[in-house]
Amino acid sequence: MKTASLLAACTAAILIAGPARAAAPSFVHQGQVTLCTDPTYAPMEFYEHPGDKEPVGFDIDMARALAKRWNAELRIISMEFTGLLPGVQAGRCDFVMSGTFITPERIKNFSGVPYLVSSMVLLVRASTNDVTKPEDLSGKVLAVQAGTQYEKRAHALSDDLVKQGKAPITIQAYPGGSDAIQQLTTGRAAAAITQDTEAAWRAVAQPGEFKIGYMYPATDEFGIYFAKNPANAATVKDDVAALRADGTEKALAAKWHLPAQDAETPLTEPKE
């Protein structure tokens, strides 16, 4: 009877405590994990005030939520976008979250786990009425962040326009995403490529200054990148699913004024 009672007590304790927590990814070392990010892409990651030592934003909050699940202290290293994935290769950081798309090219060399769905947009000044489709960029100045898929897509579009006998796009690439948006403010660019996440945030942060000239029908997925490891990919995928299921991601999307559907649209399974 004592054995049965003891077994029942242990079972009750397990039920109260909940299911056992899965092991953290192997890139978590001695209770610490390092994130590399480019804090120039509001509201995903940016410095809220001049002189701030650590960035804020949706990605930063998501990274902290993941680190909490891993029982780890989060360390953040800021660097230019082009150095993020090389930083993982060099061992400077354990993972990257920085508004970085899941792409076949990146998946060849890194494990990538999607966590947020988003749509690419052409952002223009509120007074602009002559950019309502990508082809309208012919002969105009387009601002993009250097080293991103935006830059590649802009050049591909410009090449297509030239093949059609139209004027090419003048593509100006800048180190940071905020630098590209600044060109709209100063009138140096007719449009900038960004995501619906930034457009929604700027509608609140800078009301009446910008608008979406065109929203691309296809969607992109932001991904968490780290050294290639299928077991770690499975663990991180489960953690992202948990943060979606318990409402954490949805609450963070609301906090940073992201479109609600971005945190609710089902994620795909990258093919590594």
Q: Single out the residue of 264, 225, 226, 220 nearest to residue 243, CA to CA.
A: 264
pTM of the shown model: 0.88
- The architecture in CATH of the region 27-118+220-263 reads 3-Layer(aba) Sandwich (3.40)
* Domain residue ranges of the chain, discontinuous segments joined by +: 27-118+220-263, 120-218
pLDDT at 82 over 80: yes
pLDDT in tens, 163-175: 999 999 999 999 9
Percentage of the chain surpassing pLDDT 90? 90
- CATH 3.40.190.10 at 120-218, yes or no: yes
pLDDT in tens, 234-247: 999 999 999 999 99
What residues have CB less than 8 Å from 92, skipping those under 6 apart?
Answer: 34, 36, 77
How far, in Å, CA of 22 to CA of 20, rounded? 6
